[in-house]
Structure 1
């Protein structure tokens, strides 16, 4: 009978006294003790982990989006596009997570829903920061964070910067000059679809070989919004499957509110131009 395999015989480190271990590096004690349940129901753990992991993925998305914006401002478009591609993959992961949550039935959720109080994903400041960064700058959405001045300050700092799409439009304007009302709009306001912007992007798509870098950037933005839209759609269908048309715990209309969000366009001209080609 062969002896059990001993990894230390092949050089694996086995003694971590006073040394950096896997758990130390990842702060696993803190991370794995952050799942505080409020009931003894089985599915509450699923609900908490689903939302905590989503917040972790959003943390990474913000890291990548911020770096991509900086790269675009610095004229490093190819580095930015790599980061944008990564954000699309992050939202692919967020989309897959809904499949796990959908294994929770209405009966499972009802058993602990009252313990949520008025807490809701609607109040996620990271999600709001992502929307602000991508260009959906609805300042009314600062209100759910009024009890946390630090979060309001964080979001206001984002509103003071150009959105990712604004930065893309600056790059576009170097090839196709754009009107003052597009380029000098207050950064806290959401960009509105503009015929001149659509005409410029349309020219990019009609002659991609001449404007390859802008063409590639446009497609990276479309890819990102595509995954973001799917995430919103999966959110709607998951909520409808679990609670139907009840109001959300945070007071929104639930499914009706989420369906309204499906109509929001982040990079409108990049979608509208396709009809013209």
Structure 2
């Protein structure tokens, strides 16, 4: 530790930072302003990713506890929303990158080959922490993402070792939050309570009955305004399909059970918890859980927009040519923006929610109020 008063430049390591923009040269004077900007933007992105990883791990660790105290949910929400804001900041850098013309970029692009942004280990870490499964990944081309992180001779690199460590860092944020949701009291019932399965089923049935009445009313009005019999048949089929899809989703009929029926029951209870929290969010003990869910939506939305914004920047600067690392370039980036959804159940909940006036009444609303001071 340096003696004497602390200076800004020592604390921030300003001189060390400013010496890191040389690229493949010994002296940054050999680089154009365009290349220096390209390097700086990516370095800043990696610093944002570092902060996002720290926030996501802290939130994951909080939800990985066997008992998550209600008082700690505000801290979790702050961490999730900070990570979302970090992705927004990173996405904003693409406007600066777009000041590069195609010719400007091509002047130094060959230096990068076969390097690629696909080799950002921290980007892969973020995906792993959030809960993107290995089977959900899209193929880059002839190699896997793990192979792309190794040195050209196949040996391990700091990037590959970083990601390998993260793969063993369980649970993911999605797994931890789903375990927390699974423990949510639904209509006063908890997973290890008596007749919990029956009580959760009763809640689902009551909710779906309310949804059926609501959709049938909407369908009646829509069919009254239909111009032809074909229109009425189309509307009837569409609304009936919406009802069937809601039941299938809440009962987790899309989950393959194999020899383990509990997988479907687990997923169904997680989804019921999401609907329960969103529907009765005014109850005191559900207010912060609902904030958690909304923050998760904001997080994944920001990450998705980052991917989409990246794709449009690349297309604007270099079109749809093959990426420096041999990927399909823009086409690959567009695919990941569509396919890499981690919290799909949280998003799907929006499709089945009802307005407050038609929700079925709760059996035990008193269990979701604040405890008395002397309790």
- Regarding TM over 0.5, the answer is yes
Alignment of 1:190-209 (within 5 A): 196-209=269-282
| Count of residue pairs brought into register by the alignment | 253
User: In the TM superposition, what is the alpha-carbon distance from 1:254 to its structure 2 partner?
Assistant: 0.3
Superimposed CA distance per residue, residues 87-123 of structure 1 (whole angstroms, 9 cap, x where no aligned partner): 1111111111111111111111011101112111110
Secondary structure at the aligned position of 2:323 is classed as coil
User: In the TM superposition, what is the alpha-carbon distance from 1:56 to its structure 2 partner?
Assistant: 0.6
Q: Which runs of 5+ in 1 are unaligned?
A: 1-15, 185-193
Alignment of 1:217-228 (within 5 A): 217-228=292-303
User: In the TM superposition, what is the alpha-carbon distance from 1:163 to its structure 2 partner?
Assistant: 0.9
The residue number in structure 2 matching 1:275 is 351
The residue number in structure 2 matching 1:258 is 333
Superimposed CA distance per residue, residues 22-48 of structure 1 (whole angstroms, 9 cap, x where no aligned partner): 111111111110001455433101110
The answer on whether the counterparts of 2:182 and 2:269 sit within 8 Å (CA) in structure 1 is: no
Secondary structure at the aligned position of 1:154 is classed as helix
Superimposed CA distance per residue, residues 226-255 of structure 1 (whole angstroms, 9 cap, x where no aligned partner): 111110110000000011000110111000
The residue number in structure 2 matching 1:34 is 20
Distance in 2 of aligned mates of 1:37 and 1:142: 24
In the alignment, which of 182, 200, 214 is matched to residue 173 of structure 1?
Answer: 182
Alignment of 1:115-264 (within 5 A): 115-138=111-134, 140-147=144-151, 148-160=156-168, 161-175=170-184, 177=191, 180-181=262-263, 196-210=269-283, 211-263=286-338, 264=340
Distance in 2 of aligned mates of 1:153 and 1:78: 34
In the alignment, which of 37, 45, 62 is matched to residue 46 of structure 1?
Answer: 37
> Does the alignment pair 1:56 with 2:132?
no
TM-score by length of 1: 0.84
The answer on whether the counterparts of 1:41 and 1:111 sit within 8 Å (CA) in structure 2 is: no
Q: Which runs of 5+ in 2 are unaligned?
A: 25-29, 136-143, 192-196, 198-260, 354-375
Q: 1:97 to 1:150 in 2, by over 3 A?
A: closer
Distance in 1 of aligned mates of 2:303 and 2:8: 32
The residue number in structure 1 matching 2:64 is 73
User: In the TM superposition, what is the alpha-carbon distance from 1:220 to its structure 2 partner?
Assistant: 0.7
Q: 1:79 to 1:183 in 2, by over 3 A?
A: farther
Distance in 1 of aligned mates of 2:264 and 2:132: 15
TM-score by length of 2: 0.63
Distance in 1 of aligned mates of 2:172 and 2:3: 47
The residue number in structure 2 matching 1:187 is none
> Does the alignment pair 1:101 with 2:77?
no
User: In the TM superposition, what is the alpha-carbon distance from 1:86 to its structure 2 partner?
Assistant: 0.8
Secondary structure at the aligned position of 2:341 is classed as coil
